[in-house]
Amino acid sequence: MADEQTKAVNRRARHEFTIDETFEAGIVLTGTEIKSIRNGKVNLADAYARIEKDEAWLIGAHIAPFEQGNRNNHEPKRARKLLLHRSEIDELLGRTKAKGQTIVPLRLYLTSKGRAKLELGLARGKQLHDRRRDIADRDARRDVARELADAQRGR
């Protein structure tokens, strides 16, 4: 993991969903798309993944057009094919249909070989009270950490 470069994180996914399991998928990209990703011009906030005709697709991810691109530049919001093993696709398909779960992208990163990978999460939507509880827990942990730091400093 030390040789990975995280290019985009979907912070909204962790806020709105409870992540049950994570998967790693490759992405089929064009030349200008990978150049834009290397420049960090990618947004996963409104993206989701879907299984259609036994293939996984990333829908709604915005990869900005490459500035130095020519007329063959890519479409920013096009659907992109995800590369998963057949067993992973079957598992995702079964669990999303049976339990009412959804597939959300968590982060996009580059490997040491220059390949773009996407971390997918199998998720359940959070209710409003669950979100409030998570925020309260996070605030409580922050307060405890602050008190411990103050005690160690001798305040």
Mean pLDDT of 118-128: 86
Domain span at 16: 5-126
Look at phi and psi of residue 94 and say left if phi exceeds 0, alpha if psi is from -120 to 50, else beta: alpha
Closest CA to 103 of 60, 137, 42: 60
Instruction: Tell me the pLDDT band of 17, cut-offs 50, 70 and 90.
Output: confident
Q: What is the pLDDT of residue 64?
A: 86
Full-model pTM:
0.75
Mean pLDDT of 38-53: 89
The number of distinct structural domains making up the chain is 1
Q: Specify which residues 125 forms β-bridges with.
A: 17
Let me know if residue 25 belongs to a domain. yes
Let me know if residue 51 belongs to a domain. yes
Let me know if residue 134 belongs to a domain. no
Q: Count CB neighbours of 33 within 10 A.
A: 26
Least confident of 36-40, 43-47, 130-134, 150-154: 130-134
Let me know if residue 148 belongs to a domain. no
Q: Which amino acid is at 65?
A: P
Q: What is the pLDDT of residue 84?
A: 92
Q: What is the pLDDT of residue 112?
A: 86
Let me know if residue 45 belongs to a domain. yes
Domain of residue 40, CATH code? 2.40.280.10
For residues 98-136, b (16+ Cβ closer than 10 Å) or e, as one string? eeebbbbbbbbbbeeeeebbbbbbbbeebeeeeeeeeee
Let me know if residue 144 belongs to a domain. no
Let me know if residue 73 belongs to a domain. yes
Least confident of 2-11, 21-30, 49-58, 103-112: 2-11
> pLDDT (tens digit, 9 = 90+) per residue, 131-140?
788 888 889 9
Residue 74 predicted with pLDDT over 90: no
